[in-house]
Amino acid sequence: MDRKVKIAVLVSGGGTNLQALIDAERSGIIASGEIVCVISSKAGAYALERAKSAGIDAVTVARKDCATLADFEAGIVQALEEHGAEVIILAGFMSILSEDFTRRYSDRIINVHPALIPSFCGKGYYGLKVHEEALKKGVKVSGATVHLVNEVCDGGEILAQKAVQVKDGDTPETLQRRIMEQAEWKLLPEAAEKLCRRILGEKKPETPEVVLEKWERKDAETLAEIIGKIDRKYLSDRIPNPYTENDAVWFITETAQKGEAEKTGVFSKITVGGKTVGNISVEKSGGLNERCAVIGYFLLPEYYGKGIMTEAAKQICAEAFEKLGVIRIEGRTFEPNMASRRVLEKAGFELEGILKNAYIKNGKVYNACVYGLTKGE
């Protein structure tokens, strides 16, 4: 198999489930994926030693050293992006991830829970607590569940389950060990392989026809409505909040039309099936960078993931090289909008540097990512 899906494993402790994954990859049970990094939420976790012994990159993003959950997750995202991770496996990872994080990696995160969901699951049910509650209830059968992770704790799609007998005289520790050996260590690698095969077999959704058209004053109401539907974290701080129809008129007349007339920028509305769904523009930089231009864009959320921005970027870059006389177009994107990075790379942009000009704003870490596309290359 030429291509394998890149897997990151998130851990917090000893890493017994991690070892099961490592062994499964070596034995060929995981044939469609490869573990490229292990990320621990605790410094000194033995799981990191397991990773190093297997020749896998080991990274620590210590939760206790991060002021906020957003800071913690930003560190994890950085490590995931640096390793090109496509699948994330939670293997004894003792932190609940935010909705922003799970949405970013939708259908790409799997977790193993030491019970048969929907029993003994949800917030507060982890580690020995799960087995303690199962024994208190007097159940005769417990087990393990591997599921996709979403914004609901233990609420994602179930990929696999296996029942394990509860024996007389069991303690939480003996039951935990039996469930790991008979269920978790078997199910987790099998589910990882299943998800990797699913990804390799995924067909790209067909990109609808994308047409770039010039903004006109009559589009002001539409533009205002679009910006009102977009999450503010994906918009420049320079865009007024709230954004009114008067703001849209100003953009169209003073920025878009004037910029194109003076050949300082190319501004286009993105239309799909005759409907305006977003904006894309390329503007010349000033000063020493006058032969360079910067790309920027936004899109209605329901049109994400269809290749629309990639196609729009290709079209406007070709137009900008011709009309503006620039030799280079750059895209500067900032965390947490990593979708921008993927759009630009697919459109032919080359990643020049990550963590360039990293800074902190309003308690969040932002990493400036600079991409460039040079004419003739």
Q: Residue 163's pLDDT band (boundaries 50, 70, 90)?
A: confident
Regarding beta strands 109-113 and 87-90, do their DSSP bridges make them parallel or antiparallel, or are they unpaired?
parallel
What fold, for 210-374? Aminopeptidase (3.40.630)
The residue among 210 and 374 whose pLDDT is bigger is 210
Task: Note if 147 is an active site residue.
Answer: no
Q: CB of 8 within 8 A of CB of 39?
A: yes
Q: Residue 35's pLDDT band (boundaries 50, 70, 90)?
A: very high
Structure tokens given for 316:
């406007």
Task: For the chain, give the percent of residues with pLDDT over 70.
Answer: 84
Provide mean pLDDT across the span 363-368: 46
What integer pLDDT is reported at residue 351 of this predicted model? 44
Q: How far apart are CA 212 and CA 245, in angstroms?
A: 21
Provide mean pLDDT across the span 10-28: 89
Q: How many CA atoms lie within 13 A of 231 on its CB side?
A: 8
pLDDT digits (tens, 9 = 90+) for 83-136: 888 999 998 888 888 888 888 888 899 988 888 878 877 777 777 778 888 898
Q: Are both 5-201 and 210-374 of the same fold?
A: no
- Of these residues, 83, 113, 131, 147, which one is catalytic? 113
For the domain spanning 5-201, the CATH number is 3.40.50.170
Q: CB of 34 within 8 A of CB of 68?
A: no
pLDDT score of 15 more than 50: yes
Q: How far apart are CA 233 and CA 241, in angstroms?
A: 12
Residue whose C-alpha is closest to residue 100's, from 333, 304, 336, 309:
336
Q: Residue 198's pLDDT band (boundaries 50, 70, 90)?
A: confident
Q: CB of 58 within 8 A of CB of 46?
A: no
Residue whose C-alpha is closest to residue 135's, from 184, 164, 168:
168
Pick the range with the lowest mean pLDDT from 248-262, 272-286, 361-375: 361-375
Task: For the chain, give the percent of residues with pLDDT over 90.
Answer: 27
What integer pLDDT is reported at residue 326 of this predicted model? 83
What integer pLDDT is reported at residue 148 of this predicted model? 87
The domain segmentation of the chain, as residue ranges, is 5-201, 210-374
pLDDT score of 243 more than 50: yes
pLDDT digits (tens, 9 = 90+) for 257-303: 999 999 999 999 999 999 999 999 999 876 556 678 888 888 887 88
pLDDT digits (tens, 9 = 90+) for 138-150: 888 888 888 888 8
Q: Residue 232's pLDDT band (boundaries 50, 70, 90)?
A: confident
Pick the range with the lowest mean pLDDT from 69-83, 220-234, 290-304: 290-304
pLDDT score of 377 more than 80: no
Mean residue pLDDT across the chain? 82
Provide mean pLDDT across the span 216-237: 87
Query: In what order do the strands lie in the sheet containing 87-90?
Result: 57-60, 33-40, 5-11, 87-90, 109-113, 141-148, 158-165
Q: How far apart are CA 164 and CA 178, in angstroms?
A: 8
What integer pLDDT is reported at residue 344 of this predicted model? 60
